[in-house]
Structure 1
Amino acid sequence: MLELDGFEAGRRLAGVVFAMAVLLSPVSAQVPAPDTGPGADTPLPAPRPAPEQPAAVNGLAQLAISAQFANDRKPIRSGLAWRILTESADGSAPRIVARSNDPEPSFSLPSGNYVVHAAYGFASGTKRVSLGPQGLRDQVAISAGALSLAGSIGDAPIPAGQLSFSVFVPLQGNSEGRLVTSGAKAGEVIRLPEGTYHVVSTYGDSNAIQRADVKVETGKVTDATLHHRAAKVTLKLVAATGGEAFAGTAFSVLTPGGDVIREAIGAFPQVILAEGDYVLIARQEGQIYSRDFKVESGSDRDIEVLAK
């Protein structure tokens, strides 16, 4: 065997290392030749953006929700109260984990199964959803409409402050089977599930009452005016017709049969009464005075009792 001197051995070893480096280099093996053909300078088309999804925040998925009317799919843009509840696998009671009064809220929640509840006044809608890491956008349908109430005497509207309304759901022939709300004011928007309701309108605080059945349709506001037959009377105890009223007089308004309709104390209290016949009793310093009187719808007037 021919023995190489140190210089020749070093030179050959360096050549082998250089050749291996060239062969094994990924850059030299994969770089393509430049394209100099026609259209080489034309840019590639931009990639189409993916559909917008609720973005994840801090590892939590985004649940974006909105509500719509069930019949025409129109969006509900106000009056909503949202609650998000967990749906457990062991059958335990759901637990509220998020709330919002926004029309289209977005919640950051861990992935999992939830119950979405949307309240729209006295109506509501519920939906079960499965929230994954990619997020979810969903809608809840609600079968609901609204009711706006007013009252009148003939063609004259009754001031809102003198009216109150109660709304009932009829049950098995009973028009006032279940109370939905009481003390509602004129012009107030009452949001209700679709259906037929019994409305009771009270003018003043005695017996001027009217009733009507009203239908509420999904996605619509039903305006209903109840027409009263009543009047406002001012009670007075006087020494002579048109005279000054006695202060501190106790008044009782009765039906002809003796049922007490209203009691009041003062020099000239005002009472709103339904159309009809009445008996007025006035008590002053141990003395009792009375008279019969009649109320005609829309005819506000003084009712004087003579102290003699």
Structure 2
Amino acid sequence: MTAGRSPSPLLIALVMAAGLGLPAAPSLAQSLDRPTLPRIGPAPSTELPSVAPEPQRRRRHMPGGAATPFFTLPDGATPFTPQMGTSPLIIPQIPGAPVAPGTPALPPQFADRTAVAFDARFRQGGQYVREGLHWRIFADQPEANGAFALVAESRDAAPVFALRPGAYILHVAFGTFAQTRRLRITGEPLRDSIVLNAGAVRLVGRVGEAQIRNARLSFDIYAGGLFDGGEPRLVMRQVPAGDLVALAEGTYHVVSTYGDANATIRADIRIRAGQVTDATIQHRAANVNLKLVQQREGGDPIGNAAWTVLTPGGDVIKESIGAYPSMVLQEGEYLAIARHEGRVFNRRFNVEAGKDLNIEVVAR
């Protein structure tokens, strides 16, 4: 028999254990007995509509922060669906650590720091905000260039920060709404709940019974009502139709623009904390297509004409160059002027809400 290497003792032990039905020894990774830190995050929920978050800024930040018809929209406020249970699970518990229930805890490697936990509510005693939050913590003193150093940030619904004792500035943003407060961190863990007093609005537009396509409609939102006095403060520009926008509780003035001419409507809306307000802006306008033709209506089109659309009083509403310009015009009377090869042609027409027009100007 040819001589060979004898099997190792470890291999013999494993074969005997398998043959006798004995349990195998624990793996090397399991034998280290290192508890894993649970992931921090809110309880899963899909009941709330998503809220447009603030654009992410990865930089240091200074803490902070009517010729058209007018009418006031009804509130039409619909409450958020309440969440089940009480506070979301926000604090990880380390196995074997003497931590009281509800007290923030940190892994041993952060022994020189303090656990600071936050969550946010829509209003005092109301439901928790589950998404759309952006938390930042800054040093409380500015640097030489005047900026405040960013210490930590998170987009979790209920983050836990590890901070050394000292003074800081907390900045939390929810959509267009932001809140700032100073923090004094000692050696004791801290948990705090931020009351945002915020709600949300969803804006859409209609002409008659038809909903306006989002690509042709936008909204500018200003703080305060139209008759509140003072200089209006722009909160958000060109909000797309149908987007859910988070706003602080209060009254806002909305300017709805349909197309790129004069189809504009203004309205005041009221935002209540913890509620979504669905507002529909009713436009009185129509789409108008212009065409310059030869000799008679229905004749051959003439290209490269320069167009000007005026009001009866002579105010210029829209200028364009081309064979078939198209525009959205508010209800009313207009004068279309076409210029081609040194000659000028014109035609008067009326626009009725929801009735699109094809206007032919005859070159005679």
Length-normalised TM-score, structure 1? 0.78
Separation in 1 of the partners of 2:136 and 2:194?
Answer: 12
Larger Rg: 1
Residue aligning to 2:133: 80
Identical columns (%)? 45
User: What is the one-letter code of the residue matched to 1:251?
Assistant: W
246, 250, 269: which one pairs with 1:195?
250
Matches within 5 A, 1:167-206: 167-170=221-224, 173-174=228-229, 177-206=232-261
Q: Is the 8 A contact 2:99 2:105 kept in 1?
A: no
* Cα distance in structure 2, aligned partners of 1:241 and 1:176: 50
1:1-308 to 2 correspondences below 5 Å: 50-51=100-101, 52-56=103-107, 57-58=109-110, 59-87=112-140, 95-170=149-224, 173-174=228-229, 177-239=232-294, 240-308=296-364
Q: Relative to 1, partners in 2 of residues 1:76 and 1:195: Cα closer, same or farther, differing over 3 Å?
A: same
Q: Which runs of 5+ in 2 are unaligned?
A: 1-97
8 Å contact kept, 2:252–2:270? yes
Deviation at 1:168, TM superposition (A): 1.2
Query: Aligned partners of 1:190, 1:49: CA distance in 2, in Å?
Result: 39
Higher strand share: 1
Q: Matches of 2:259 and 2:316 in 1, distance apart?
A: 16
Aligned AA (2:115): Q
TM-score (norm 2): 0.66
**2:175–2:246 Cα contact (<8 Å) kept:** yes
| C-alpha contact (below 8 Å) 2:224/2:250 kept by paired residues | no
| Matches of 2:193 and 2:150, distance apart in 1 | 19
Q: Which has the higher contact order (CA 8 A, sep 6+)?
A: 2
User: Which amino acid in 2 is paired with 1:242?
Assistant: G
How many angstroms does 1:170 deviate by? 3.1
Pairwise CA RMSD of aligned residues? 2.2
Query: CA distance change for structure 1 residues 202 and 277 in 2, over 3 Å: closer, same or farther?
Result: same
**CA drift at 1:157:** 0.4
1:81-127 CA-partner distances (Å, limit 9, x unpaired): 11112335xxx985431122222222222122333221112222334
AA aligned to 1:55 is L
Shift of 1:62: 2.1
